[in-house]
Chains A and B, each alone.
Chain A
Amino acid sequence: MILGNTYHLENRPGSSLLRHLGGLSTFVDWNRSSLTDSGGFQMVSLLDLADISEKGVSFQSPIDGEQMLLTPERSTRIQNRIGANVIMALDDVVSSVCLEAKRFEEATHRTLRWIDRCIAAHQRPSEQALFGIIQGGVDLRLRSTCIEEMNTRDAHLPGYAIGGLAGGEEKDAFCRVVAQCASKLPVNKPRYVMGVGYPLDLVVCSALGADLYDCVYPSRTARFGTALVPEVRLVIILIRARSLHSLYPGHPASEDGGYGRRLSSDR
């Protein structure tokens, strides 16, 4: 399942163009499943450029400085045009290391008001599955409120995500939130922990009852010359690899030909 980023795809090439060209899957020739996020994460990652209100999130594009207002309606319709199998509700995301408790409370309730706007704006409910996102920071009470309220919209939500984590909060708090959400969300629907993550986190969250994840870690770390191997995170560009071992000793594909660890360091 590939993940497309609504904010960036709307910038380039643009959701209207994508629809004209047959949707994301046709554009990239991918006949398996796909998912787009709502653009909500950019609230955290591009916070200096974002202005959040009840209406929506106003961004200043990092590419050309142009203003863009992302409302629940606009996000949903952009995702309708992009055409992924799963689309995410626009939620009010607060960085998990924010210190204002009131901000989390505001975000929790706004997320619930926005889910109704997303559901109303969704033009392709029989083709694209809309997932609701549980917010509430690391406050279990807020999370509980959010889950209970979100459940009342269950008929319109084929799946749920646990959002607002993977942002630097303490691991202890992270695990408690995932445990709570996974135990209270409907058992017959997928649970997607957004932004997770490191291998250990994947194991823990799966044990707690989560099903879907997304993480930039493998590709991002690869761009910086790191290969993920069973033993250790092998930073290849920093070592003069004279070792003869293949990247994955014992793996059938590595026995004849393929690339050795040392080859990777030379390039």
Chain B
Amino acid sequence: MGGIVWELDPRFAPADGESTARPGPRLGTLTTTPWDHPGPVGVPTPMALTYTRRGEPAHLTPDNVDLLPREARTFHVSLAHFMDHLGPDHVGNMPGGGRRYFGCRPTCMLVTARDPLTFDQDAKQSNTDAHTFVASPTGTTKITTDDYARWIEAIQPDAFVALADESPSWRDGVALKKTKQASARTEKWLARLLEKTKESPTRPSVFASLQGGADVRERRACAEGIVERHGTQLAGFAIGSVGAGETPGEHRQSLLRASIEPTPWDKPRYVAGLGAPLDVLDALESGVDLVESSFCHQCTTQGYALTFPVKPPPTTNGAGGLKKRKRCDGKDGNERHERVAEDEERVAEDGEEEDANRRLLTGGDAFKSNMWALAYRADKRPLLPGCKCYTCERYMRAYVHHLLQCHEMTAAVLLDIHNYFHFNKFMEATREAIGAGTFAEFAAFHRERAARMDGDDET
């Protein structure tokens, strides 16, 4: 509450004589003052906000969230999940304020209207000057700026993205008139929300949503207009209508840059819908600072474990050694350590490659493994050997596979812990690469690896 503060790492600020910094990639720090902390809490960016359903991670209780890296305690909250028969009051009327409604206590909460996973549904309805639509639990529901403001008042987020008229950027052939209309509405709703929330006692920060569809010029115009007319009241910028089917790579980046370049370099940029690792690379290269991790939720619910290496392997032949596992039987993994060692030794020659082949043959890909696959039913290894998450330090693939086969909810809990942990480690690796000036190589590693493993013959 009380808004967010974002600071660019000085190494990425404009050099002497330059009026503006390069758009990205870049490092920063996001600071909030949570209601239950004595002081401010800062997390480094680029960073991924944890996906939530109705304000809480779908499968993780607060103690499980504490098993994740600190950055995972920043949440992305979708208003759409709340918009059923119960209005904002049942949240807002919590003694002490709406933030106490939630069991988990995120250090930062960013609210948007939509769930990144249901964007396609939302975007099909025709909007008017008064309202747009969100996919709520009871169906597609209208939402106005008044509704939005009331919910913001109730939920007390640290920041929110203003309500926007969005349309997917793959819709080439959308009449320019309609795109301009969407931009105009978005700006009008932004102005209204700024007006309504500026007197709010919790003073949430406002992110403008930048539109312009698939048209580079319209994106630039929309961004310029919003910056010019409202820039001083804004804490950051969300680039809207992406991650909805537009062609990845150069085309997507051109849209992102068109929205980002007119914005002030000292304010953060957020994008929803670009969550898969290669999408994240596109986003960071274009200068995005905040993404969201609905990708992890999707992987979990479909029984996938993220198993890609977060960064290129070290070039030295260092003895990584076999990890000691924290087993609860007090053996510290020694006994199993030896047995696991035998298994690993047996496949050591082509261990990783064999594992990778198995992954590809069983419905996985370069980034994830399909834990439903029968190939894992007797596999004693952790989801990702070497991973330090709670799940990988205690449980074996065979167990997660068994839980999935039996339709036990513990499968989702263990997968969520691993997937969010791993995804946050990936974001940490991006920050390391950005800081070391090796992001280009870092991105190339991931792209080449994916192309090689997923059989892309075009390169």
Given A27-B396, A30-B328, A31-B328, are A259 and B54 also a contact pair (CB < 8 Å)? no
Closest to A240 in B: B86
Given A20-B378, A21-B378, A26-B329, are A262 and B90 also a contact pair (CB < 8 Å)? yes
A21 touches B398 (CB 8 A): yes
Given A12-B402, A27-B398, A257-B103, are A17 and B378 also a contact pair (CB < 8 Å)? yes
- Docked complex Cα distance between A27 and B36 (Å): 38
Binding site of A, secondary structure by majority: helix, strand, loop or mixed? loop
| In the complex, per-residue mask of A235-267: 1 if CB is within 8 Å of any chain B CB, else 0 | 000001010100000000000111110110011
Whether a CB of chain B sits under 8 angstroms from the CB of A218 is no
Whether a CB of chain B sits under 8 angstroms from the CB of A25 is yes
- Docked complex Cα distance between A29 and B402 (Å): 14
Whether a CB of chain A sits under 8 angstroms from the CB of B314 is no
Question: For A29, A240, A267, which residue has the most chain B Cβ atoms within 10 angstroms?
Answer: A29
B399 touches A28 (CB 8 A): yes
Whether a CB of chain B sits under 8 angstroms from the CB of A22 is yes
| In the complex, per-residue mask of B392-406: 1 if CB is within 8 Å of any chain A CB, else 0 | 001110110010011
Whether a CB of chain B sits under 8 angstroms from the CB of A62 is no
User: What's the nearest-Cβ distance from chain B to residue A247, in Å?
Assistant: 11
User: What's the nearest-Cβ distance from chain A to residue B102, in Å?
Assistant: 8
Residues in chain A near residue B62, CB distance under 8 A: 257-258
Task: Select which of A26, A28, A260 is within 8 A of B336 by beta carbon.
Answer: A26
Total A-B pairs in contact (CB under 8 Å)?
A: 62
- Docked complex Cα distance between A173 and B68 (Å): 53
- Docked complex Cα distance between A248 and B31 (Å): 34
- Docked complex Cα distance between A102 and B395 (Å): 49
| In the complex, per-residue mask of B35-56: 1 if CB is within 8 Å of any chain A CB, else 0 | 0100000000000000001101
Given A12-B402, A13-B398, A29-B394, are A257 and B100 also a contact pair (CB < 8 Å)? yes
User: What's the nearest-Cβ distance from chain B to residue A30, in Å?
Assistant: 7
- Docked complex Cα distance between A262 and B94 (Å): 10
- How extensive is the interface on chain B, given as a class? 20 to 34
Task: Select which of A257, A260, A262 is within 8 A of B105 by beta carbon.
Answer: A257
User: What's the nearest-Cβ distance from chain B to residue A244, in Å?
Assistant: 6
Whether a CB of chain A sits under 8 angstroms from the CB of B95 is yes
Interface residues of B in 41-92 (CB under 8 A from A): 53-54, 56, 62, 86, 90
Closest to A8 in B: B406
Closest to B402 in A: A13
User: What's the nearest-Cβ distance from chain A to residue B154, in Å?
Assistant: 13
Whether a CB of chain A sits under 8 angstroms from the CB of B142 is no
B396 touches A263 (CB 8 A): no
Binding site of B, secondary structure by majority: helix, strand, loop or mixed? loop
A267 touches B330 (CB 8 A): no
A263 touches B380 (CB 8 A): no
- Docked complex Cα distance between A30 and B105 (Å): 29
Residues in chain B near residue A21, CB distance under 8 A: 378, 380, 396, 398
Whether a CB of chain A sits under 8 angstroms from the CB of B442 is no
User: What's the nearest-Cβ distance from chain B to residue A137, in Å?
Assistant: 33
Interface residues of A in 28-43 (CB under 8 A from B): 28-31
Residues in chain B near residue A22, CB distance under 8 A: 336, 380
Whether a CB of chain A sits under 8 angstroms from the CB of B377 is yes
Residues in chain B near residue A242, CB distance under 8 A: 90
Residues in chain B near residue A31, CB distance under 8 A: 327-330
Interface residues of B in 363-395 (CB under 8 A from A): 377-378, 380, 394-395
User: What's the nearest-Cβ distance from chain A to residue B34, in Å?
Assistant: 11
Residues in chain A near residue B329, CB distance under 8 A: 25-26, 31
- Docked complex Cα distance between A259 and B93 (Å): 15
A29 touches B327 (CB 8 A): yes
User: What's the nearest-Cβ distance from chain B to residue A98, in Å?
Assistant: 31
- Docked complex Cα distance between A169 and B336 (Å): 47
Residues in chain B near residue A12, CB distance under 8 A: 402, 405-406
A27 touches B100 (CB 8 A): no
B402 touches A266 (CB 8 A): no
| In the complex, per-residue mask of A23-65: 1 if CB is within 8 Å of any chain B CB, else 0 | 0011111110000000000000000000000000000000000
Residues in chain A near residue B327, CB distance under 8 A: 29, 31
Closest to B86 in A: A266
Residues in chain B near residue A257, CB distance under 8 A: 36, 62, 100, 102-103, 105
Task: Select which of A27, A244, A266 is within 8 A of B54 by beta carbon.
Answer: A266
Residues of A within 8 A of B (CB): 12-13, 17, 20-22, 25-31, 240, 242, 244, 256-260, 262-263, 266-267
Residues of B within 8 A of A (CB): 36, 53-54, 56, 62, 86, 90, 93-95, 100-103, 105, 327-330, 336, 377-378, 380, 394-396, 398-399, 402, 405-406
Apart from the given pairs A244-B93, A256-B36, 11 other A-B contacts in the complex at a CB distance below 8 Å: A13-B405, A21-B398, A22-B336, A27-B396, A27-B402, A31-B328, A244-B95, A257-B103, A257-B105, A258-B103, A267-B56
User: What are 10 A-B pairs at a CB distance below 8 A?
Assistant: A13-B402, A21-B378, A27-B398, A29-B394, A257-B36, A258-B62, A259-B103, A266-B86, A267-B53, A267-B54
